[in-house]
Amino acid sequence: MFDLILNFSLLIASLVALIFVADKLIDHSVKLAKILGVSGAVIGLTLLAYGTSMPEFAVSSIASFQAHDELSVSNITGSNIYNIAIVMGVVALLVPFYWKENLRRDGLFMIAATLLLIPLAFLGGISGIIGIVMVIVLAGYTYYVIKTDKKVGEDGKAIQREKGSARKEFGWCVLLLLGVVVAGYFTVQFAVESARLAGISQWIIGSTIVAAGTSMPETVVSIISARKKQMGMSLGNIVGSNYFNILWILGFAAAVNPLAFSIQNIWVDLVFLCVITALFYVALIRKKITRYEGIAYIAIYALFLLYLLRLPPFSF
């Protein structure tokens, strides 16, 4: 029992460190983006989204390298469900959530990335070649998003670049990325050991504690952005994080070490993920999320937790 409590405490501590370093990474990424004169929507879809996904990147990549495939995949599916259901659900409860930005294109790309997991699950996982293709597709789409950016702010006016040293901010980003990788390594170690000592599967640990913990940066950034009326940045952070999680993180993890997972183990997770993603895309089309929809998102996540813990109505 002492070993379990110790490992669980160290798991929480490593997650806190992971979140702290990732939060600083986001700050410097935003500064770099503003110096370069990038719009709020693109900041959300690229730098913020990819920056807040660094904890997932560290955890899933290291888990794959150590052949903990279930932890690697469940961390991503659990994080994506959490990103929409909890982050967007909480934001909708806190502030009137509507926006002007058109994110249909990016929403469709998010849906395509999500649906890609279905045939991959039937194939038994992600090979190294497919992983490399996924990374290339995401890199190409990122270039396209930046290239087609209209460079206008929330007020519709042209963005004026801020003064500052891009080289200095880039250096901070590299240093903090290294910190994220180190913290991610210890998160995987303590998560796997805690699961073993408690007799809990890696899948449940990855889909709950690790997924929620590594999604804290998205949670904080999206809520703060929405409260500051930066709705495009808030939304872009979640949309970008979700397709980045699948295409880049799982793609990179598979390129390092092919990921093996079956449809038998992941089908319920995929059902929850596809349902919440579809509901989110409808909101992107309507350009608003009501408080009632926010409550529905949170209720869906509650059902997901019941399934993971095999409690009624999922006691099978």
The closest of 170, 180, 207 to 20, measured between CA atoms, is 180
In sequence order, what are the residues at sequence separation of 6 or more whose Cβ sits closer than 8 angstroms to the Cβ of residue 233?
A: 40, 41, 43, 44, 48, 221, 225
Answer yes or no: are the C-beta atoms of 27 and 54 closer than 8 Å: no
Q: Which domain holds residue 227?
A: 2-148+166-308
Q: Residue 92 pLDDT > 80, yes or no?
A: yes
Q: Has residue 121 been placed in a domain? A: yes
Angle at which helices 231-244 and 104-123 cross, to 10°: 20
- Domain-embedded: residue 313: no
- Whether 82 maps to a domain, the answer reads yes
One-letter amino acid at 232 equals G
Query: Would you say residue 154 lies in a domain?
Result: no
DSSP of 70-106: HHHHHHHHHHHHHIIIIIIHHHHHHS-EE-----HHH
pLDDT in tens, 262-315: 888 788 889 999 999 999 999 999 988 999 999 999 999 999 888 877 655 555
Kindly state whether residue 155 falls inside one of the protein's structural domains: no
Q: How many domains does the structure of the chain reveal?
A: 1
Residue type, 117: L
Asked, for residue 157, whether it belongs to a domain, the answer is no
Contact 63, 184 (CB under 8 A): no
How far apart are the C-alpha atoms of 164 and 51, rounded to whole Å?
A: 20
- 198-212 as b/e, with b when 16 or more CB fall inside 10 Å? eeebbbbbbbbbbbb
Q: Among 47-51, 107-111, 239-243, where is mean pLDDT lowest? A: 47-51
- Work out the percent of the chain whose per-residue pLDDT is above 90: 28
Give the predicted TM-score (pTM) of the model.
Answer: 0.79
| Rounded Cα distance, 82 and 211, in Å | 7
**Residue 72 contacts residue 238 (beta carbons within 8 Å):** no
CATH number at residue 302: 1.20.1420.30
